[in-house]
A and B are shown apart, each in its own frame.
Chain A
């Protein structure tokens, strides 16, 4: 893929303190971060977006490769969303729906409400971002076996728990 020269220029300008570049960069990042934080943090989604972008801009001077921006932001967004969503205790299902599960197609929000923030993060990274298991495990700092078991052992248990 050709490098996004406009994005690179924005990152470099923002790193040098150009606040209009920061503003333009926000226009590019808010939809991306909002798509990640919304399904993981649910009602706390706006808090998660704000905290993510605050961290991103504080640490932006340390980003050495502007082309890595979105991957770097994804890591921060998922971690912030899980952290903020975990502030409230909750009862959650222990397993995830399989890809294409009809329940997901009919009411994603209801499915998300029944999962823990960590499980929601795995689901988002797999189904929305299309990442493989190894990348998901690295991004969430969990063992790949844990990701695999949550993803593949899931269907039967999920369906049983769902129908209760």
Chain B
């Protein structure tokens, strides 16, 4: 049969919602920023600059390896603790995983603005109980990102 069957897509924010559902230990939040998606992603995807700004528990972040859209990143915490992250970074999409932590950031055009979503969490059994404590982290990340692109 010829013709064009409609195909549905999963944009990056929806993709992050799916992974939030798959990781009950993670906190998830989203908002709409008054800036276009190119501007937002230029800021957000500069991980070495932006991660310490967005997440106050991270003192520094350094990309130590890169192969296509896969990165290795070393993060150093405020108390000197170190975490090596495997990162998938593409336009509108960033997913990070270390031994104990996961993080995700997604952006998609929404009218003249940009819908952004953030996910952060622990990769440990039973961490659902910690979710309320992580809620301010998510709200803070989205608030600081809005300030950085503004």
Q: A residues bordering B, Cβ < 8 Å?
A: 17-20, 22-23, 26, 30-31, 33-35, 37-39, 41-42, 45-46, 48-50, 53-54, 57-58, 60, 99-100, 104-109, 112, 124, 127-128
Contact = CB atoms under 8 A, between A and B. Distances in A.
Interface residues of B, number: 25
Contacts of B19: 19, 22-23, 26, 57
A106 B9 contact: no
A54 B17 contact: yes
B74 to A, nearest CB: 17
Nearest to A128: B5
Contacts of B14: 46, 49-50
A39 B94 CA distance: 30
B8 A108 contact: no
Contacts, number: 93
Given A37-B8, A45-B8, A106-B3, 16 more contacts: A18-B97, A19-B19, A19-B22, A19-B95, A26-B15, A30-B9, A33-B8, A33-B10, A34-B10, A35-B7, A38-B5, A57-B19, A100-B1, A104-B1, A107-B3, A108-B3
A62 B118 CA distance: 28
A49 B8 contact: yes
Nearest to A50: B14
Contact of B11 (A38, A42, A46): A46
Nearest to A25: B22
Contacts of B3: 104-108
A136 B8 CA distance: 21
